[in-house]
Structure 1
């Protein structure tokens, strides 16, 4: 759909601007401990201000674009009904889920590189399973921080996390499962057209 392609372009531009901004901020931080010409410091300040302004403009356009398309707006409201899914993660998940014909939440998790795989050497399995990390690292990073928030504030996710720790799983393994659970919930609300409700999420959305 044209509106999804436009959303993808806007989100990609936001990610590019954010990466540029972080690089300039890191360079600026280094000037605090090194001898740096004044003109370089001034240039960094100017560039950071420009990038911050552009980033705000793109973020505003992403919000406006979603609001101006009823279906996107409805989907965004469903996604952000999930505790810990804010506008940035919601927009990214909206882009992913509506730009592919996924038939299951597991497919989405696999696409995003959130499926655990075992380390192998020849025919031997070595060590613990780890995430495959295929797909978008930017979206994974956003889901990582959302999962941390969800463990604290979303009883559905916290219950899963605590249960896995009680079974002896590592914190990173349990956190990976929390990230996958968020993907399942995002897929679930769009598939059912129902806003997230922690009181019946276990029955409505696949665990």
Structure 2
């Protein structure tokens, strides 16, 4: 954490909660200055911080800087205190060093304050000045929620289609991401409804959203309908549910498109937008997620960034029986997913593809090779963020040097 630790006189640890927090304040000698429950109330939090400033410079440390910890962070900064963040993993490891196994708010707050006093290297800075990042955090979180709901709704539709007409599901299920198919199911949700409508009406409905694929989808639908003549029990109920699910799917996709437009506008206004998107495989959504998870955090090296993201391999050795490197199960899962997906999307890039193919030739499975590529790309990403430079393709080593 970039902080003049020696200038701090009071360390205020906050174990934050939804309706209230517990606060423990220590001076440099470790003497307890405050140890009480603190409500989620701006006035009372401000009063405590101002009172503690009478003892000198105050450092406020929280275990959650966002969501339920956003108000304490904002109040502390406004009251003139420095703000720090103790990551959850560091918190758990430090807690194991303290006597007792109780899990209470008071104990957690005391551990946070003591960690700030005696182990400043475990802290991270909290930067909330950038309103763009705060807005991106909210929008990206909602986008993740919408993505989960879209996946669940699509799976439910495919499950119902499989139940009543497996052949029809094989024809329509893989294309549910296209609005034309969801729109078709709002009007003709059952095999009988599709047969009754006929090819002409089905083709016309599909042409509204898929003019090029309408003919192909129509033929696939009616070929599937010809493969089953019996009516499965539950088809009538499915005919009630399927249109509602299809409408829900369309509404969720419209909401996601709206959120994407707002995210895009915010991301494009950020000074690191051109830097991040210059790297192959990083689009608007991935750029937004990297910004929210990386900006404001200090990484001493590229290895530190990779470890934080959970894409650095973990070495395990014990005598001669256990040797090797294994994937990490820790790290920031949101950032790990963003780096994984960006590496996968970068396979069209010749240098990235060559590295992926080399790892596959070494015997690694697909996911292992993608993780290895993501780890390699994190080194480049770290340098880009550190220096503010755009991505450059690596120069092949066998090229002759310039005269």
> Normalised by the shorter chain, which TM-score bucket?
0.7 to 0.9
Contact 2:290/2:338, CA 8 A, preserved across alignment: no
Are 1:180 and 2:375 an aligned pair? Answer: yes
Q: Does 1:193 align with 2:322?
A: no
Q: Which of 98, 101, 104 in structure 1 is aligned with 2:295?
A: 98
Distance in 2, Cα, partners of 1:176 & 1:106:
14
For the pair 1:130 / 2:320, whether they are aligned, the reply is no
2:340–2:374: 8 Å Cα contact kept in structure 1? yes
Q: TM-score, normalised by structure 2?
A: 0.43
Deviation readout 1:132-190 (Å, 9 max, x if unpaired): 132344443343333234344141x3454455556x35244443221112222222212
Matched, 1:170 2:368: no
Find the residue that maps to 1:56 and give its secondary structure: helix
Task: Report the more deviating stretch, 80-89 or 143-152.
Answer: 143-152
CA distance in 1, matches of 2:359, 2:254: 43
- Structure 1 CA distance, aligned partners of 2:374 and 2:385? 17
In the other structure, the counterpart of 2:258 is 57
Q: Distance in 2 between matches of 1:199 and 1:119?
A: 32
The structure where helix makes up a greater share of residues is 1
> For the residues of structure 1 that align with 2:359 and 2:267, how far apart are their CA atoms?
37
Residue 77 of structure 1 deviates from its aligned partner by 1.0
Structure of greater relative contact order (alpha carbons < 8 Å, 6+ residues apart):
1
Structure 2 CA distance for aligned equivalents of residues 87 and 198 of structure 1: 21
What RMSD in Å do the two structures reach over aligned CA positions? Answer: 2.8
- The Cα of 1:113 is off from its aligned counterpart by 1.0
Structure 1 length-normalised TM: 0.80
Residue in structure 2 matched with residue 205 of structure 1 by the alignment: none
| Equivalent residue in structure 2 for 1:147, among 314, 318, 343 | 343
Match of 1:110 in 2: 307
Give the secondary structure class of the aligned counterpart of 1:31: helix
> 1: distance between equivalents of 2:327 and 2:264?
31
Classify 1:47/1:123 alpha carbon distance in 2 versus 1 (closer, same or farther; 3 Å): farther
Maintained 8 Å contact 2:312/2:328: yes
**Partner secondary structure for residue 161 of structure 2:** coil
Q: Hey, what does 1:28 align to over in structure 2?
A: 157
**Structure 2 unaligned regions, length at least 5:** 1-127, 164-233, 398-403
